[in-house]
Chains A and B, each alone.
Chain A
Amino acid sequence: EAQVTQNPRYLITVTGKKLTVTCSQNMNHEYMSWYRQDPGLGLRQIYYSMNVEATDKGDVPEGYKVSRKEKRNFPLILESPSPNQTSLYFCASGTGASYEQYFGPGTRLTVT
């Protein structure tokens, strides 16, 4: 089954404790991206990747890092999480940015 998977689905952590949210797709897509969803603000892009070893900032990259060492994986790293990063995070993939995007199930992160 073609899908985008994210882990964990739910995470509660404390300020400053490094964490990684994994994202994996099995559709051989070149393009992957991360979004956060906040009430009243909608989904906003954090980072995107056009291919292996090619990443770039989206609209709200502060406090986040990403890497793309393999085509199927695109982890999101929060090296020192803060409460304002409490949000619902989505990973997406597609053949390219201008093609249909497939989204993962989301990761709900709470930083206390």
Chain B
Amino acid sequence: KQEVTQIPAALSVPEGENLVLNCSFTDSAIYNLQWFRQDPGKGLTSLLLIQSSQREQTSGRLNASLDKSSGRSTLYIAASQPGDSATYLCAVTGFQKLVFGTGTRLLVSP
């Protein structure tokens, strides 16, 4: 059974800092991995999707990497801003479903 773990569960940083969020999964047989952002009271917003054949994806200040063989992904956020404060979820796609981690709650202070 696929299990997804995210570390740390919570992170507090000052504005401007570069940071890394970690995601690990137990079964390397995945189609892709997605990183989502969740704001309180709102739905999930897809940030990046990495296909299983890819190593990384970039969007603006965000960079996500995927190492399928070791079961790990990282989300790198450059020059963090208070508006980046949210919960970040990673999810791996298996057969007909996404399996989610429990998220990292990020707080960026001005």
Cα of A58 to Cα of B32 in the assembled complex, Å: 19
Choice from B4, B42, B46, B100 contacting A100 with Cβ under 8 Å? B46
Segment of B10-18, B69-77, B91-99 in the binding face = B91-99
Establish whether residues A97 and B103, one from each chain, have CB atoms under 8 Å apart when the complex forms.
Answer: no
Name the B residues within 8 Å of A41 (CB-CB).
102
Tell me, rounded to whole Å, the shortest Cβ–Cβ distance linking B64 to chain A.
13
Known contacts A42-B101, A98-B32; decide if A105 and B43 are in contact (CB<8 Å). Answer: yes
Name the A residues within 8 Å of B101 (CB-CB).
42
Q: Which of B9-27 contact A (CB under 8 A)?
A: none
Cα of A55 to Cα of B46 in the assembled complex, Å: 24
Establish whether residues B96 and A100, one from each chain, have CB atoms under 8 Å apart when the complex forms.
Answer: no
Interface residues in A, total, Cβ within 8 A: 25
Cα of A100 to Cα of B31 in the assembled complex, Å: 11
Tell me, rounded to whole Å, the shortest Cβ–Cβ distance linking A96 to chain B.
9
Interface residues in B, total, Cβ within 8 A: 23
Cα of A48 to Cα of B97 in the assembled complex, Å: 8
Report if B78 contacts A (CB, 8 A). Answer: no
Chain B: CB-nearest residue to A102: B46
Establish whether residues A100 and B34, one from each chain, have CB atoms under 8 Å apart when the complex forms.
Answer: yes
Q: Which of A92-112 contact B (CB under 8 A)?
A: 92, 97-98, 100-106
Report if A82 contacts B (CB, 8 A). Answer: no
Most buried by A among B41, B49, B96, B102: B96
Tell me, rounded to whole Å, the shortest Cβ–Cβ distance linking B25 to chain A.
13
Name the B residues within 8 Å of A44 (CB-CB).
100
Name the A residues within 8 Å of B46 (CB-CB).
100-103
Choice from A4, A42, A43, A97 contacting B96 with Cβ under 8 Å? A97
Known contacts A42-B102, A42-B103; decide if A98 and B93 are in contact (CB<8 Å). Answer: yes
Choice from A90, A97, A103 contacting B95 with Cβ under 8 Å? A97
Cα of A104 to Cα of B45 in the assembled complex, Å: 9
Choice from A43, A98, A106 contacting B89 with Cβ under 8 Å? A43
* CB-CB nearest 7 A-B residue pairs: A98-B31, A103-B44, A105-B43, A43-B100, A42-B102, A42-B100, A45-B97
